[in-house]
Amino acid sequence: MTTLVLSPRGTDDANRLAVAAEARGWSVAKLPRWRVEAPLAPPLVLYGEPLFCRVVAAQVDHVMIEPPHDWLLGVPAAFAGRRIRYERFDALPNLEYPAFIKPPDDKIFPAQVYAEATALAARDDIAPDQRVLVSEPVRFTEEHRVHVLDGAAVSVRRYAVDGDIAEGVGDDEAAALAAEVARVTPDTPPAVVIDVGRVAEGGWAVVEANPAFGAGTYGADASAILDVLAAACLPRAAVTPDLERFTAAVELE
């Protein structure tokens, strides 16, 4: 029997996924802490904070499948809708602003549009050679989250309008774009969430890609999302060389 493993932090998303899992005949285990203290028999499906999923997976000899940090760099220009590049952290004062700047780990500093670099560049706790993602600002009038499995969109849901959270019916164009981007962009994992947005000037562009196991669902089809989550959690022994590049190393204390 498949087990859906959830983090201690309860969310509406997790609750909806739990209901869908039980409807499938799966068991649901909400862990009281990040340490696995009771056996979890595979097959396992994990959902929660990304780090929680990686840490728990490592404890039970599983790995999580996710897009690499530089995935956006491989998106064809026609779908990116803006110039995207990696820069060294110490190069920030020399860039043109405003600019959208995102760290490889969102905990280092907030990913957002920066009007200038003075405060950010003054951080002495970030290595000068730390690479950050820099792109031209784009105004999205609406944004949609698409869960993609093996190059096919299995769910789509609008999550923002003019930058504010606004759940709503997903757009078929958004779903089709995300699926095509997944098929043509190098280093796209088989299970992934791709966010796309309608650009103010017209047309659509990719916003970003996220690990499926930590992404909000915004009321999308929970049962369909379970299929994506199942493909994003694999026993270590089942990871092929082609999938190895979609895993992140985790050090357990």
- Do 151 and 200 lie in one domain? The reply is yes
In this prediction, what percent of the chain has a pLDDT beyond 90? 86
In a domain, 249, yes or no: no
Per-residue pLDDT tens digits for 21-48: 999 999 999 999 999 988 898 999 999 9
User: Model confidence over 47-65: pLDDT tens digits?
Assistant: 999 999 999 999 999 999 9
Tens of pLDDT, residue by residue over 162-189, are: 999 999 999 999 999 999 999 999 999 9
**CATH label of the domain that carries residue 186:** 3.30.470.20
78: in domain: no
176 assigned to some structural domain: yes
What pLDDT does residue 253 have?
Answer: 64
Residue 203 — left, alpha, or beta (φ > 0 → left; ψ -120 to 50 → alpha)?
left
Domain that holds residue 186: 139-210
**Angle, helix 12-23 to helix 222-231, in steps of 10 degrees:** 90
Q: What is the C-alpha separation between 77 and 2, in angstroms, rounded?
A: 40
44 contacts 236 by C-beta, under 8 angstroms: no
- What pLDDT score was predicted for residue 248? 84
- pTM for the predicted model, two decimal places: 0.93
Q: Has residue 76 been placed in a domain?
A: no
| Average pLDDT score over residue span 217-229 | 97
Give the E-state strand segments of the chain in sequence order: 3-6, 27-30, 44-47, 62-64, 84-88, 99-102, 112-114, 131-135, 140-149, 152-161, 164-169, 191-199, 204-210, 233-235
Task: Identify whether 104 is part of a domain.
Answer: yes
DSSP-derived secondary structure for 210-253:
E-GGG---TT--HHHHHHHHHHTEEEGGG--HHHHTT-------
Q: Are 72 and 208 in contact (CB under 8 A)?
A: yes
Residue 226 lies in a domain: no
